[in-house]
Amino acid sequence: MNWRITAIILFLFLSFPVIINAEDTWSVTPDKTWTIDFNKNMDTDRQPFLEAAREHVYVKDSEGYEHPVNISVPDLDRLKVAPQESYTVGESYTLVVQKTLRDSNGRELVSRASRTFDVHPYGEHLGSFTSDKPLPSYAKNTTIDALHSLPYWEWVEKDRTYLKQEISKQQLFGEMEQLQEELEEVSSNYLEVNGFHFYTSAIHSKLDALKRAMKARYNLLYFNQYNYPATSVTYNEEQATLEADDRNEGSFEVDRKIYNALLDYPYDTSYTDNITVVSTPFTFEGINGFAKSSDSTIYLSALQEDPVKTFYHELGHMFDYFFEPPRQRYEEIRNYSSFDDTYENSYTESFAEDFKVVRYPYEGVLANLNDIGTPKEETRVELESFFKEQEQKEDPEVPSLLINGTPIYSDIQVAQSETVTFSGENLYGSIQVETPAGEQDSVELGDTFTFSEEGVYTFSTPIGKVLFLFDKDGVWSPNEEGPLQRVTMGQLTGEVYEWASALEFEPGIFKYNRDYSILMINAGYYQPFQITDKTITSDEIRLELAKGQEDYYIFALPESMQDKSVIIENNFLNIPG
């Protein structure tokens, strides 16, 4: 196989070869740090990669003289280039990556890459906002190739109908492997822009559709239930609405506005590296965006008029989360402390609005729309100084988790081998594991876990639950116990998991029919028992109890059994019916 190595300045296109147009000119501050990404690891060790980069990567001024720079290697597929001395305001420079830069196997880059940039003063507005730089074509691609090969909004409707027919479990399992392959590929199709990871509405919506399709097949495999999730996007448990259709062909002007705003981002802030920015055609009533600190993600509605203002507001929330700036000092600067729990007068929303007002880099003075009001000029100067003080602190410890060296792209995955390795940064403690039999195990970060039995493994990671479906030979053969299929707590997902967890120690018989049909028989923590016999007739489910080691049983009910009565024989635990 002939590998093609591509260097990309500012953007991470992975396997997409891109030629950088050296005539495009960018405007940056005097201390601008550039990020250069490659579509594969350039070496197995950072030191030889760094030595090679110092020979083949440089910055030259308009007269061709090299400007002294410091080059660092944060990752084996990434370089950072920072000036040793500030660039001269008004001068033009070009960052160059020579084609002769080779990887450890001696392979050269596909082509020379370069970026020309002008230098503007600190604190100078960038002028009027424009969205003149187009998105790469692949970032606007709305087609999901797996199974149906349709634009994502049509693909979902086709898949909903498709799954209502009779499909063998072997076929469903095979389809999950196909979906996972495309899901992994699409998840890497973000644009890296000034350190931000940007998912356009097209890419994000394909990810959403593929995740839902995976979960729908999981529900059929393990619960014998048709349950197609409405969306993988939630905000305060509110249902999102998909706006994309053939009228807009899944393409929104907001995508390009966000893209250009990220390209223009004028601040040299390392804490913004790896913040994910998502343009989403899923809308929520009353908001244009929201920030999720748990995974450092900013969601921006693709239907709003001015996503750039919303972006800087939500970035203010991320800043507040990362640095935890002293509230008392902020209140002193603003001469205001009468915050309450309402949106219009909350501390967090007021802080984010002030961050937007101060850090918005374009012409015009923005308003703080909260009760605290818009800060005057002298207060804005003081706030900017306050923000910079926080940024002088050590970079925040942002948690990140990798599975087999790859960021998590889905909370349901089909195991590709008999082992899995979890690693990451700024994470502590071990990962708890529940086996298909319901037994408890654990694995330390950086260590490898080996699957031993077929079925669903539940990994409780520091950033959420991940389910792995393991099958040794690719032939679907779960150990089903007749029409009543027993499942573990860890195999449950979403709302039904929360419901079952809340009732884990409450004795009783429960049916849950909103998302799944689940029969949960629970005697509380201190009354272990076992089910010795199950008899199913046309009218009832009859269960016999005996003393044993179990605290509760959870069964998935097929639709044909949802209306049956549940009768318990030898109810020595006095479980109510």
pLDDT digits (tens, 9 = 90+) for 421-465: 988 877 888 899 999 888 889 999 889 999 998 889 999 888 788
For the cut 60, the answer to whether the pLDDT of residue 16 exceeds it is: no
pLDDT value at residue 158: 96
Q: Give residue for tokens 């424009």.
A: 130
Last residue of a domain, one of 119, 145, 165: 119
Handedness of CA 153, 296, 192, 28 (dihedral sign): positive
Residue 132 counted as domain residue: no
Do residues 206 and 262 both lie within one domain? yes
Question: What does the chain come to in residues?
Answer: 577
pLDDT class of 29 with cuts at 50, 70, 90: confident
Q: What are phi and psi of 250, to 5 degrees?
A: 70, 10
Closest by CA to 126, choosing from 383, 312, 401, is 312
Q: What are phi and psi of 245, to 5 degrees?
A: -160, -170
Residue 501 counted as domain residue: yes
DSSP 194: T
Do residues 211 and 342 both lie within one domain? yes
Rounded CA separation 502/229 (Å): 22
3-class SS string, 233-274: CEECCEECEECCCCCCCCCCHHHHHHHHHHHHCCCCCHHHCC
Residue 42 counted as domain residue: yes
pLDDT digits (tens, 9 = 90+) for 116-157: 888 876 555 667 888 889 998 889 999 999 999 999 999 999
Do residues 295 and 378 both lie within one domain? yes
Handedness of CA 346, 352, 355, 357 (dihedral sign): negative
Pairing of strands 419-425, 448-450: antiparallel
What six digits make up the tokens of 70? 């410091």
Residue 1 counted as domain residue: no
pLDDT class of 20 with cuts at 50, 70, 90: very low
Do residues 168 and 274 both lie within one domain? yes
For the cut 50, the answer to whether the pLDDT of residue 113 exceeds it is: yes
Closest by CA to 27, choosing from 105, 175, 98, 128, is 128
Do residues 162 and 54 both lie within one domain? no
CATH, residue 14? 2.60.40.3710
Closest by CA to 457, choosing from 478, 430, 436, is 436
> Comparing 72-81, 209-218, 312-321, which segment has the lowest mean pLDDT?
72-81
Q: How many CB atoms lie within 10 A of CB 292?
A: 16
For the cut 50, the answer to whether the pLDDT of residue 80 exceeds it is: yes
What six digits make up the tokens of 24? 């495009």
Q: What are phi and psi of 379, to 5 degrees?
A: -75, -35
Do residues 279 and 314 both lie within one domain? yes
Last residue of a domain, one of 470, 493, 517: 470
pLDDT value at residue 494: 74
Last residue of a domain, one of 90, 119, 148: 119
Closest by CA to 457, choosing from 488, 478, 427, is 488
Domain count, the chain: 4
Do residues 287 and 228 both lie within one domain? yes
Do residues 361 and 466 both lie within one domain? no
| Whether the predicted model's global pTM rises above the 0.75 cut | no
Identify the H or E element spanning 94. Answer: strand 92-97
pLDDT digits (tens, 9 = 90+) for 144-194: 999 999 999 999 999 999 999 989 889 999 999 999 999 999 998 999 898
Answer with the residue of higher pLDDT: 35 or 16: 35
Residue 298 counted as domain residue: yes
Do residues 205 and 84 both lie within one domain? no
Q: In Å, what is the CA distance from 126 to each residue of 118, 355, 451, 515?
A: 12, 17, 55, 50
Average pLDDT over residues 11-36: 53
Do residues 218 and 185 both lie within one domain? yes
Do residues 275 and 421 both lie within one domain? no
pLDDT digits (tens, 9 = 90+) for 386-417: 999 998 888 787 778 888 888 888 889 999 88
Q: Is 272 in contact with 324 (CB distance < 8 Å)?
A: no
pLDDT value at residue 286: 74
Q: Is 71 in contact with 54 (CB distance < 8 Å)?
A: yes
| Residue 545, beta-bridge partner list | 531
Do residues 447 and 493 both lie within one domain? no
For the cut 90, the answer to whether the pLDDT of residue 309 exceeds it is: yes
pLDDT class of 12 with cuts at 50, 70, 90: very low
Residue 126 counted as domain residue: no
DSSP states along 392-433: TSPPP---EEEETTEE---SEEE-SSSEEEEEEES--SEEEE
* Domain span holding position 267: 137-391
Residue 267 counted as domain residue: yes
pLDDT value at residue 577: 63
For the cut 80, the answer to whether the pLDDT of residue 14 exceeds it is: no
Residue 402 counted as domain residue: no
